[in-house]
Amino acid sequence: MGEMITLTAADGHEFAAYKVASNEAPKGCVVIVQEIFGVNSHIKDVCDGYAKAGFNAIAPALYDRISPDIELDYTPKDVEQGLQYKNQVSDETALKDIDAAANEIDASGNAAVIGYCWGGTLAYLSACRLSSIGKAVGYYGGQVAQNIAETPKAPVMLHFGDKDASIPMSAVEEVKAARPDIPVFVYSAGHGFNCDQRGSYDAEAAKLALERTLEFIS
């Protein structure tokens, strides 16, 4: 449905991004930020879904800073590989690529960043550090609580699962206490509940979270 394009970050790094246009007059633009698995088939599906919902969408390939075309699956081995890759790309560097993607999809600074897993943390940091975005939505961002002292400059919405083995509910409560202005939604689901390629997929939670997200960014 979409196409791979090449972008250049502020530091001169060239990288790929998956870009797809809405079939109708767009309601807005979204930057979809990957999990630890790269811009794989699921992230492309997410972009396609937002295009069908009326948004221009783009997903920057954050692992191009390591090597091009890294796309992982959801096996235990791929999880291990993904964590190794993630540790090679600093959040600060990833934000440069998100910034370039936001400027590509909407140069007026109104793009919404929507991130999952690692991308959920990056979505929060985008709201704090990037002037190129208008809103941010984080799904099960594992490091949001650790970065909650940073103040968002753009409106933020956060989604978590109460059965998430990697994000304790104490961390979610910490986020709620520190940022009472941010809508934080908790679902009866585990980590990765939005991804229909994972065993933790929860259709009901994914549907409700998407409805809330679409209302928030529209």
Q: What was the pLDDT predicted at 33?
A: 99
The Cα–Cα gap between 96 and 33 comes to 12
202 is catalytic: no
Q: What was the pLDDT predicted at 75?
A: 96
Q: Are 72 and 37 in contact (CB under 8 A)?
A: yes
Catalytic, out of 29, 47, 117, 195: 117
Q: What was the pLDDT predicted at 197?
A: 97
164 is catalytic: yes
Indicate the burial class of 23 (C-beta count within 10 angstroms; 0-12, 13-18, 19 or more).
exposed
Catalytic, out of 64, 91, 97, 164: 164
The Cα–Cα gap between 189 and 195 comes to 12
The Cα–Cα gap between 171 and 156 comes to 17
Q: What was the pLDDT predicted at 98?
A: 98
Which stretches within the chain are classed as H helix?
41-52, 76-86, 91-105, 118-129, 169-178, 203-217
78 is catalytic: no
Average pLDDT over residues 167-178: 98
Whether the predicted pLDDT of 1 surpasses 90: no
Report pTM.
0.98
The Cα–Cα gap between 63 and 202 comes to 27
Taking CA atoms, 90 is separated from 63, 86, 104, 127, 166, in Å, by 11, 8, 22, 17, 20
Going from N- to C-terminal start, the domains of the chain cover: 3-217
Catalytic, out of 91, 191, 195, 202: 191
Q: What was the pLDDT predicted at 84?
A: 98
Pick one of 3.90.550.10, 3.40.50.2300, 3.40.50.1820, 3.40.50.720 as the CATH number of 3-217.
Answer: 3.40.50.1820
Under DSSP, is residue 157 helix (H, G, I), strand (E, B) or coil?
strand
Instruction: Measure the CA dihedral 205/122/118/59, to 10°.
Output: 80
> What confidence tier does 156 reach under pLDDT thresholds 50, 70, 90?
very high
| The dihedral sign for the CA sequence 106, 107, 110, 112 | positive
Tens-place pLDDT, residues 107-127? 999 999 999 999 999 999 999
Q: What was the pLDDT predicted at 36?
A: 98
Tens-place pLDDT, residues 11-59? 999 999 999 999 899 999 999 999 999 999 999 999 999 999 999 999 9
The per-residue pLDDT of the chain, averaged, comes to: 97
